[in-house]
């Protein structure tokens, strides 16, 4: 296993609708075409290295990593 799992969150007020998150992780992010705001879909859980890439590539700095104690892969 290469890295722990973390959850990601989008701060809607900072989102500029660049769509980088959806392009990088379409299973985790959805860009609303009408409002041009991204949101987390599904569990929002990614391996930490992938989450760090998405955070770094967000042009609005709207994505953050949320330490998620339940991010062990269980659906719960």
Over the stretch 49-60, which tens digit does the pLDDT of each residue have?
Answer: 999 999 999 999
Identify which of 49, 47, 36 has the alpha carbon closest to the alpha carbon of residue 72. 47
pLDDT digits 0-9 by tens, 37-48: 999 998 999 999
Mean pLDDT of the residues in the chain = 88
The enclosing domain of 24 has a CATH number of 3.30.70.20
- pLDDT of 1 reads 42
Whole-structure pTM value:
0.82
Question: Is 44 a member of any domain?
Answer: yes
Give me the helices (H) in 1-76, please.
20-24, 48-57
- pLDDT of 56 reads 98
Question: Is 15 a member of any domain?
Answer: yes
Residue 67 confidence class, pLDDT cut points 50, 70, 90? confident
| Count of domains forming the chain | 1
Question: Is 71 a member of any domain?
Answer: no
Residue 59's domain comprises 5-66
């Amino acid at each position: 296993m290469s890295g722990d799992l973390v959850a990601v969150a989008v701060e809607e007020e900072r989102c500029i609708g660049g769509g980088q998150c959806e392009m990088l992780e379409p299973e985790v992010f959805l860009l609303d075409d009408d409002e041009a705001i991204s949101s987390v879909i599904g569990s929002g859980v990614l391996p930490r290295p992938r989450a760090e890439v998405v955070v770094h590539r967000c042009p609005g700095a709207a994505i953050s990593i949320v330490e998620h104690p339940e991010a062990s892969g269980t659906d719960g």
